[in-house]
């Protein structure tokens, strides 16, 4: 059976509890609300509020600042969306970014810049391969797996760097250059990555297979999809794009910090869930994730312009995550109860 058939099977199959999935005509109002609609309203409300409160909010340079702030998390959030659609998690992205950055600076110092770049990419793929193997071959829960690798690789990064920040010269172009319309290169890379994953998830057999696996993994497997191999590839993609984000981060800072990825996994998961991806799998879009990233970036930018303590930004991100998950659970509950 094709991936399209598996997707259809996933939609028709009842959930584990045995309850029938409601037809679209029976879905309540809350379940019919497009995932992106609340985000658009929230983004407009935040924009209006901060434009009134700060004269610096509505200008081109600040708009680029918002996009630049969202770029690193956005590059990682793209494969994270793919994983969550398939019902998987990768909470190791923050420590993976730290590890790849430190590895890049360490190897570059001893063997040259090109070797450092290759080492960072291989490091990201290694983390993805470890996560993928533990989840798909050994059968460890992805939450436990990636929590374990989160702790392991940030610790390994600190061992390599001896707890210090490693400087790196001659690698500023990737993180600071503005090749087109004064737009920073990280923003361009971010938008290209979003475009690639939009096509991948919407128009390819691989992308549709991820939805099928997330909707009903048993039905997807019975339909002939090699779920283990597909999920392994998804974890590899996550590791690869974390490495890309790490290279940009090192280029921006001119150094590799052992604290570079602190809290990054929270921002990524918040953006993906806020964008409409379900923790149960089977639902989510890259456009929704993009709007989720913009909401977080605008909120952080606006609070900074208003000179609000940076700790309150963490409070805001945590609150957004709770609200997003609560909305997702309410949507699922009303859909099932109808």
Kindly report the pTM of this predicted structure: 0.86
Query: What is the pLDDT tens value at each position of the chain, 338 positions in all?
Result: 444 444 444 444 444 333 334 444 444 555 555 667 778 888 999 999 999 999 999 999 999 999 999 999 999 999 999 999 999 989 999 999 999 999 999 999 999 999 999 999 999 999 999 999 999 999 999 999 999 999 999 999 999 999 899 999 888 889 889 988 889 999 999 999 999 999 999 999 999 999 999 999 899 988 889 999 999 999 999 999 999 999 999 999 999 999 999 989 988 998 998 888 888 888 889 999 999 999 999 999 999 999 888 788 778 878 877 877 777 677 667 655 55
**Coil, helix or strand for 26?**
helix
Query: Cβ atoms within 10 A of the Cβ of 188, count?
Result: 17
Q: State the pLDDT at residue 193.
A: 97
- Please name the residues in contact with 328: beta carbons below 8 A apart, sequence gap of 6 or more: 273, 276, 278, 279
Q: Are 270 and 296 in contact (CB under 8 A)?
A: yes
Q: Enter the tokens of residue 27.
A: 């879905």
**Residue 152: half-sphere exposure toward Cβ, Cα within 13 Å:** 12
Tell me how many degrees the CA angle 32-209-122 measures, rounded to the nearest 5. 120
Q: State the pLDDT at residue 12.
A: 43
Tell me how many degrees the CA angle 123-125-129 measures, rounded to the nearest 5. 115
Q: State the pLDDT at residue 20.
A: 39
Q: Enter the tokens of residue 273.
A: 């869930």
CA separation for the pair 250, 98 (Å, rounded): 9
Q: Enter the tokens of residue 246.
A: 């790490």
Q: State the pLDDT at residue 28.
A: 52
Closest CA to 4 of 223, 274, 181, 281: 223
Question: What does residue 171 show for φ and ψ, rounded to 5 degrees?
Answer: -135, 35
Q: State the pLDDT at residue 33.
A: 59
């Amino acid at each position: 059976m094709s991936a399209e058939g598996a997707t259809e099977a996933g939609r028709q199959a009842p959930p584990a509890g045995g309850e029938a999935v409601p037809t679209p005509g029976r879905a309540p109002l809350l379940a019919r609300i497009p995932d992106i609609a609340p985000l658009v309203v929230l983004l407009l409300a935040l924009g209006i509020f901060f434009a009134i409160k700060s004269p610096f909010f509505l200008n081109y340079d600040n708009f680029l600042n918002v996009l630049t702030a969202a770029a690193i998390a956005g590059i990682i959030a793209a494969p994270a969306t793919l994983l969550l659609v398939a019902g998987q998690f990768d909470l190791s992205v923050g420590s993976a970014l730290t590890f790849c950055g430190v590895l890049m600076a360490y190897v570059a110092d001893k063997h040259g810049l090109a070797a450092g770049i290759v080492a960072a990419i291989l490091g990201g793929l290694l983390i993805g391969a470890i996560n993928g193997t533990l989840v798909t071959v050994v059968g460890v829960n992805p939450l436990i797996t990636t929590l374990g690798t989160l702790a392991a690789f940030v610790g390994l990064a600190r061992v390599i760097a001896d707890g210090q920040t490693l400087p790196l010269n001659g690698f500023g172009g990737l993180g600071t250059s503005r090749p087109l319309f004064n737009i920073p290169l990280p923003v361009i890379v971010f938008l290209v990555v979003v475009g690639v994953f939009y096509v991948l998830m919407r128009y390819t057999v691989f992308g549709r297979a991820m939805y099928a696996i997330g909707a009903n993994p048993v039905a997807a497997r019975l339909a002939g999809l090699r779920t283990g191999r597909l999920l392994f590839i998804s974890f590899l993609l996550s590791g690869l794009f974390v490495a890309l984000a790490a290279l940009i981060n090192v280029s921006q800072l001119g150094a590799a910090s052992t604290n570079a990825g602190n809290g990054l996994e929270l921002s990524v998961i918040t953006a993906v869930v806020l964008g409409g991806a379900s923790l149960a799998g089977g639902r989510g879009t890259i456009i929704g994730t993009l709007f989720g990233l913009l909401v977080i970036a605008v909120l952080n930018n606006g609070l900074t312009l208003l000179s609000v303590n940076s700790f309150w930004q963490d409070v805001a991100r945590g609150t957004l995550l709770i609200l997003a998950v609560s909305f997702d659970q309410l949507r699922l509950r009303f859909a099932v109860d109808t």
